[in-house]
């Protein structure tokens, strides 16, 4: 089952040497292991959206989806997979 977090939960992210997230803190906390990455760019109309999404395993147990809003330079957890 999937749980969409609305509004997305703000988090702080520590990046590793290659630029991938290593750990997060805030609404969710712990080490993460990135699994997949993709980018979304759209001009949802007149307010451009540029996000870098990551699917990652949090604390070796919880699959989640987080994103980096590159316009605002902020990170969020948007989805949790059970």
Of 29, 34, 39, 28, nearest in space to 15 by CA? 34
- 8-22 confidence digits (pLDDT tens): 999 999 999 999 999
- Measured in whole angstroms, how far is the alpha carbon of residue 4 from the centre of its chain? 12
Checking if the pLDDT of 82 tops 90, the result is: no
Checking if the pLDDT of 44 tops 90, the result is: no
pTM equals 0.90
What's the total number of domains in the chain?
Answer: 1
The domain of 47 spans 2-81
Checking if the pLDDT of 27 tops 80, the result is: yes
pLDDT at position 8: 97
Peptide bond into 7 cis (omega under 30): yes
Provide DSSP, the chain: -EEEEEEEEEEEEEE-TTS-EEEEEESS-EEEEEEEEEEEEE-GGGS-EEEEEEEEEETTTEEEEEEEETTTTEEEEEEEE-
Mean pLDDT of the region 54-75: 95
Checking if the pLDDT of 32 tops 90, the result is: yes
User: What tokens does 71 get?
Assistant: 């316009």
Average pLDDT taken over every residue of the chain? 94
> Rounded distance, CA 60 to CA 30, Å?
9
């Amino acid at each position: 089952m999937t749980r969409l977090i609305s509004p997305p939960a703000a988090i702080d992210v520590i990046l590793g040497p290659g630029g991938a997230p290593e750990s997060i803190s805030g609404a969710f906390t712990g080490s993460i292991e990135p699994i997949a990455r993709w980018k979304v760019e759209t001009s949802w109309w007149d307010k451009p959206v540029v996000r870098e999404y990551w699917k990652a395993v949090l604390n070796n147990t919880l699959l989640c989806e987080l994103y980096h809003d590159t316009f605002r330079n902020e990170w969020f957890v948007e989805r949790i997979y059970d």
